[in-house]
Amino acid sequence: MSFDNLNDKQQEAVRQLDGPLLILAGAGSGKTSTMTHRIAHMIEEGIPAWNILAVTFTNKAAAEMRERVESLIGDTQDMWILTFHAMCLRMLHIYADRIGYDSNFVIYDTSDQKTLVKNIEKEQGISDREFKPQYILSVISRCKEKEMGPEEYRRSALEGPREKAVYAVYKEYESRLRENNAMDFDDLLLNCLRLLESETDVLEKYQNRFRFIMVDEYQDTNHIQYRLISLLAAKHHNLCVVGDDDQCIYQWRGADISNILDFEKDFPDAKVIKLEQNYRSVGNILAAAHSVIRHNTSRKQKELWTTREDGEKINYYRADNDREEADYVARQIGYMNRSGRSLNDFAILYRTNAQSRLFEEALSRHGIPYQVLSGMRYYDRKEIKDIMAYMRLIVNPADDLSLTRVINEPKRGVGPKSLDKLAAFARVRGQSIFEALIDPDGEMLDTLPGRSYDKVKEMVTVMKECREQRSDMSVSDIYDALLVRTGYLKSLEDEKSVEAESRIENLMEFKTVIAEYEKSAEDPTVEEFMAQLTLAAEVDNMDDSQTQVTMMTMHSAKGLEFPVVFIPGLEDGLFPGSRAFDDDDQMEEERRLCYVGMTRAKELLFLTSAEVRTRYGRTDYTRESQFLREVDKKLLTGSAVYQRRGQRSSLGVSSGSRDGFAKEPAYKPFDALKYAKQQTRKAAAGGDTDLNQGDRVKHGKFGEGLVISVTDSIVTVAFDTAGIKKLAKGIAPLKKL
């Protein structure tokens, strides 16, 4: 294989396969290309694919790496290319019993954790106002990152009321996770570490297998991840880590920057290769980013360089207010789009997700299509979480948290009081609530009052059936069955409200997600589907197939690049956030974030701020960001293509000529919901949508049948052999005969 398209340093990194290697890869220095070629080179050298492990930060990065390696050498089936969490999940799934878990364990996401902590606080008479669940969880997470259990915490912590409360909750939290056969995000890593530490045969197996290990974004690994990798690499020492200390932006989540700074100490024979040539950005952008990052004191000295032209200067615009700021951005995008730039070229990268709304509104006003990649909002919807809880229970009946969530959703007349009774009853029997409910002896069901009995029994029967037949059913089948037969969909339909409509909408859209999973997975199972969903990052959902502007946080944008980048909200208190002003470390992290944001841009970079901004209902005057002040003045200009007159920035940047809204051509406003619907319909091309009562239809699984009734979203069909089924219109594989 020839590496002609790589520079000397990159080639050196590619050829250096044996022993520890640290690649300090600056932003845009061809990191991914180097890593993929390095893997390809291993294969070329005769190293079997199954000896290779590559760990990334997001699923998107993993998928991209796999794709690119595949394009170089073909099949990558036997290679592990995945995220830390996915790697741990994979190992734990096989060896769960070794650490006292059932392999059907579920993963609790942040909101599950919060609910659990709240429940515990209630039970223990601890006020969730005084000790906020979020706070307690952050302490617990920090403990877990240090491998510190509840008892050790008590011994090491102070003895105030706060510490007492944290201890009490932590202890109960841990035992409840065990009882529910559930793990949180930290547990995935921690339990995997425990597994490898205590089970020498398992450790040896993986040590022998993974003779060559690569870790991407090493600057963002935490202590547990560091330990995991050290253990796995302990035998062969063929560990290559890639990272950039200037891009460490997850310290708040426990990322330990010393992992990368001390790599040479950990591995004294380590080779270090610096990639400093930037291929991504135009000279001015690089210079501007550097003028900001050099204000950080604790960093490895390096400066990126490029052979590219200087390009345009960095554009800075100070708007009157936040709404006008958003409008300015939309105007610029509209203008550049009309002069020939694709909408895919643009990204709006902000500090906080809350900022996205104004930009959504502005882009809609201007008729510009966009996608927002914001913190899990889609899966956070109530209806999705509800149906997921149903699915979880089928796999893992020990999950009391999920049962509590859905037993009265839809209303089955089971309020908190009945639920308490059920929980107590189950406890006496030594079972989880759901286990006790599905127990053939029916004892617990019989304790229910008449009004709720029938409904709960019906639900229990359905769930039991799904559970028993789940190996013969596809994930979609299970989803359909649950949606319809638990009465969940029916109760939404009966509501006849706009909100209920949109919930149904979302539930139907979710079918596309399932269908996509089923298409991509080798052996689709409900378990795996749910795990993948909880471990998905928002960037993983990025869609490049549409022509649209992309918005996300600067955190999410790490590893991505766009020709034109807008960074709005450059104001003290917002970016950098207010907390950064009394903590130097936090200020440095914010600055690194700014660096990451700026270096996403290839050709044009726009910075904006608003003189007046409304936040949590309050409108305040702002001050231009410290980071703006740090940008080399020579690199800034205020004469954007579309500019307002008379704007004066304290930075002394000049302004151009005014242009208003009036000339905007009347684009049709972009309707996100309508768009989503279209997408769903398109993706579900398998099913006929123009069905009417009385039609004869054929279903892939149920055979032929007669349509009994049709609503906007549901088709009820009496199948000749399979009985009456309610199916999702346009999605279920129904063919008109």
Binding region for ATP: 25-32
DSSP 386-420: HHHHHHHHHH-TT-HHHHHHHTTSS--S--HHHHH
Q: Which residues contact 707 (CB under 8 A, 6 or more apart)?
A: 691, 692, 693, 694, 695, 696, 697, 715, 716, 717
The answer to whether 65 touches 26, Cβ cutoff 8 Å, is: no
Cα–Cα distance, 506 to 386 (Å, whole number)? 12
Annotated catalytic residue 411: no
User: Does residue 614 interact with DNA by CB under 7 A?
Assistant: yes
How many C-beta atoms lie closer than 10 Å to residue 184's C-beta? 22
Where do we find the tokens 């910075």? 607
User: Does residue 413 interact with DNA by CB under 7 A?
Assistant: yes
Choice from 7, 32, 110, 637 touching DNA (CB under 7 A): 110
Q: Which of 11, 76, 207, 247 is catalytic?
A: 247
Annotated catalytic residue 600: yes
- Closer residue to DNA in complex, CB, 466/535: 535
Annotated catalytic residue 532: no
User: Does residue 418 interact with DNA by CB under 7 A?
Assistant: yes
Nearest to 568 by CA among 605, 535, 539: 605
Residues 47-76, one symbol each (x = binds DNA by CB under 7 A, - = not), give: ----------xx------------------
- Closer residue to DNA in complex, CB, 3/226: 226
Cα–Cα distance, 342 to 348 (Å, whole number)? 14
- Closer residue to DNA in complex, CB, 455/726: 455
- Please report, for residues 26, 40, 323, 479, 722, the alpha-carbon distance to residue 68 in angstroms, rounded to integers and kept in the order given: 20, 10, 41, 34, 46
Q: Which of 455, 600, 725, 729 is catalytic?
A: 600
Torsion of CA 36, 41, 47, 52, to 10 degrees: -20
User: Does residue 359 interact with DNA by CB under 7 A?
Assistant: no
- Please report, for residues 1, 73, 305, 349, the alpha-carbon distance to residue 212 in angstroms, rounded to integers and kept in the order given: 19, 17, 31, 36
Q: How far is the CB of 586 from DNA (least distance, A)?
A: 6
Choice from 29, 34, 36, 83 touching DNA (CB under 7 A): 83
DSSP three-state, residue 247: helix
DSSP three-state, residue 602: strand
Choice from 100, 125, 268, 416 touching DNA (CB under 7 A): 416
Q: How far is the CB of 279 from DNA (least distance, A)?
A: 25
Cα–Cα distance, 186 to 147 (Å, whole number)? 10
- Closer residue to DNA in complex, CB, 375/656: 375
Q: How far is the CB of 495 from DNA (least distance, A)?
A: 9
- What is the Cα 666 distance to its own chain's centre? 36
Q: How far is the CB of 404 from DNA (least distance, A)?
A: 13
- Closer residue to DNA in complex, CB, 32/474: 32
Cα–Cα distance, 21 to 578 (Å, whole number)? 38
Annotated catalytic residue 247: yes
Q: How far is the CB of 450 from DNA (least distance, A)?
A: 12
The answer to whether 235 touches 51, Cβ cutoff 8 Å, is: no
Piece of the chain touching DNA by CB under 7 A; list 165-173, 503-511, 610-618, 673-681: 610-618
Choice from 241, 398, 401, 414 touching DNA (CB under 7 A): 414
- Closer residue to DNA in complex, CB, 265/417: 417
Within residues 534-553, the interface with DNA by CB under 7 A covers 535-540, 552-553
Within residues 616-675, the interface with DNA by CB under 7 A covers 616-617
DSSP 675-701: HHHHHHHHHTTTS-----TT-EEEETT
Q: How far is the CB of 179 from DNA (least distance, A)?
A: 22
Sign, Cα dihedral of 467, 468, 472, 478: negative
Residue 555 token pair: 């955190």
Residues of each annotated binding site:
25-32
- Closer residue to DNA in complex, CB, 669/686: 669
Choice from 412, 503, 602, 644 touching DNA (CB under 7 A): 412
Torsion of CA 580, 586, 590, 596, to 10 degrees: 180
Q: How far is the CB of 378 from DNA (least distance, A)?
A: 12
Piece of the chain touching DNA by CB under 7 A; list 5-13, 348-356, 515-523, 639-647: 348-356
Annotated catalytic residue 217: yes
Q: Which of 216, 244, 246, 611 is catalytic?
A: 216
Q: Are strands 182-183 and 314-321 parallel, antiparallel or unpaired?
A: unpaired
| Lateral strand order in the sheet of 239-243 | 80-83, 52-56, 212-215, 239-243, 21-25, 271-275
Residues 226-265, one symbol each (x = binds DNA by CB under 7 A, - = not), give: --------------------------xx------------
User: Does residue 573 interact with DNA by CB under 7 A?
Assistant: no
Piece of the chain touching DNA by CB under 7 A; list 195-203, 406-414, 645-653, 666-674: 406-414
User: Does residue 291 interact with DNA by CB under 7 A?
Assistant: no
Q: How far is the CB of 674 from DNA (least distance, A)?
A: 19
- Closer residue to DNA in complex, CB, 132/194: 132
Piece of the chain touching DNA by CB under 7 A; list 411-419, 562-570, 623-631, 726-734: 411-419
Instruction: Report how many residues bind DNA under the rule CB under 7 A.
Output: 48
Piece of the chain touching DNA by CB under 7 A; list 91-99, 511-519, 530-538, 664-672: 530-538
Which secondary-structure segment (H or E) carries 734? strand 734-736
Choice from 34, 181, 404, 556 touching DNA (CB under 7 A): 556
Piece of the chain touching DNA by CB under 7 A; list 81-89, 159-167, 293-301, 635-643: 81-89
What is the phi/psi pair of residue 194, to 5°? -60, -40
Cα–Cα distance, 272 to 21 (Å, whole number)? 6
Cα–Cα distance, 359 to 367 (Å, whole number)? 12
Nearest to 169 by CA among 213, 122, 216: 122
Residues 174-213, one symbol each (x = binds DNA by CB under 7 A, - = not), give: -----------x----------------------------
**Which residues are identified as catalytic?**
31-32, 216-217, 247, 600
Binding site for DNA (CB under 7 A): 57-58, 83-85, 109-110, 128-129, 132, 134, 185, 252-253, 351-354, 375-376, 380, 382, 408, 411-418, 535-540, 552-553, 555-556, 577, 579, 586, 614-617
